[in-house]
Amino acid sequence: MAIKFRGVDFLEFDSLLTDDERLVRDTTRKFIEDNLIPIIEECNRAGRFPRELVKPMAELGFYGASLNGYGCAGMSNVEYGLVMQELERGDSGVRSFVSVHSALVMYPIYTFGSDEQKQFWLPLMQKGEKLGCFGLTEPDSGSNPGSMRTRAKKSGKEYVLNGEKMWITSGSIADVAVIWAKVEDEDNKIRGFLVETDRPGFRAADIHGKWSLRASVTSSLSLQDVRIPESNLLPKTGGLKSPLMCLSQARYGIGWGAIGAAMACYDCALQYSLFRKQFRDQPIASHQLVQQKLAWMISEITKAQLLALQVGRLKDKDKAAPQHISMAKRNNVWMALECARMARDILGANGIADEYPIFRHMANLESVKTYEGTHDVHTLIIGQSVTGIDAF
């Protein structure tokens, strides 16, 4: 029984968007409806990333969408956010793929790279002809990336890299990895390096047995004496601030993406509650406790939309600070996970079947709540901002 998504707009949110913003959102929505929704449950069951969508998504300008030049779409941050919303309404794993490729690989090349690096990689990545991954997290270094053990050592006109990375989206399908390492010759300063994945000593192994993000490729990376030319150093990187700037880009997209997952769960639960009958041959939507859940969900989704839009408007004026992005990521992912759980509740036993998208979203959002800064880490980022005291 297919429940077709109808859109979620309680407070005339669309009236706050420009014509261009609505066009971007609606184009992405149609793409997801036509291309991802029909196959996503099969992909999730099989643990398969829908590789066949990589090129079509490139043709719509999804990769590096908010960058200028190099064939990129040059979207505003709000337009980019609306793309992320619709991608995650389809599936968090597919949004993760686009987020990583755009915000964590193309963005650091664009921001920290040399002209040669930008001219070579960005046009190919924008077309989806080369794929990227982002190597920051390690087996023992998650919320505290400054404790990373990966090292780079200068050797003539080369760098030699050694280390392990973990929970890397797209690791085994990437052509290039942005690897963050402490440079021994620079007092262990953290720098970014472009590492082609076919170099000797580089190995990517997929992580299996995931109950979450099953339609996304997640890998571990191993670098054993991987030699790269010194020209592969991202020259403008320096210190932990560089990867954190990349994470801000990705976290911003997640703040919007989570709204899409919440919308999918809410709209499915609302439609289901109107045709599912129980007690006195009445739709369960007539029951007070069901209405309470639906009222909570639409209220929180509406607040999340306004929060994401304001952060996007600030970002377009170059005024969005990390704590603003942390608030959007933290609130909106929490909200979406609660919506998924309430929607599952409304559907009862049907809520666990992949005839409906709810349990898939719920499982995915458990990962989204953890990655790109856990809920608790974002709490402390906001806390530091309002008190001036760092609690890490």
Q: Could you tell me the two tokens for 157? A: 């006109």
- Contacts for 75 with CB less than 8 Å, ≥ 6 apart: 24, 61, 65, 66, 83
Q: Could you tell me the two tokens for 195? A: 């590492």
Is residue 215 a contact partner of residue 95, using CB atoms and an 8 Å limit? no
C-alpha to C-alpha distance for 251 and 257, rounded to whole angstroms? 10
C-alpha to C-alpha distance for 163 and 184, rounded to whole angstroms? 13
Phi/psi at 228 (5° precision):
-130, 150
C-alpha to C-alpha distance for 25 and 160, rounded to whole angstroms? 44
Is residue 67 a contact partner of residue 74, using CB atoms and an 8 Å limit? yes
Residue 12 among the catalytic residues? no
- No. of helices (H) and no. of strands (E), the chain: 12, 7
Pairing of strands 158-169, 218-229: antiparallel
| Nearest one of 191, 169, 29 to 103, comparing CA atoms | 169
Count of beta carbons in the 10 Å neighbourhood of residue 304: 24
The catalytically annotated residue of 79, 164, 300, 372 is 372
Q: Which residues are catalytic?
A: 372
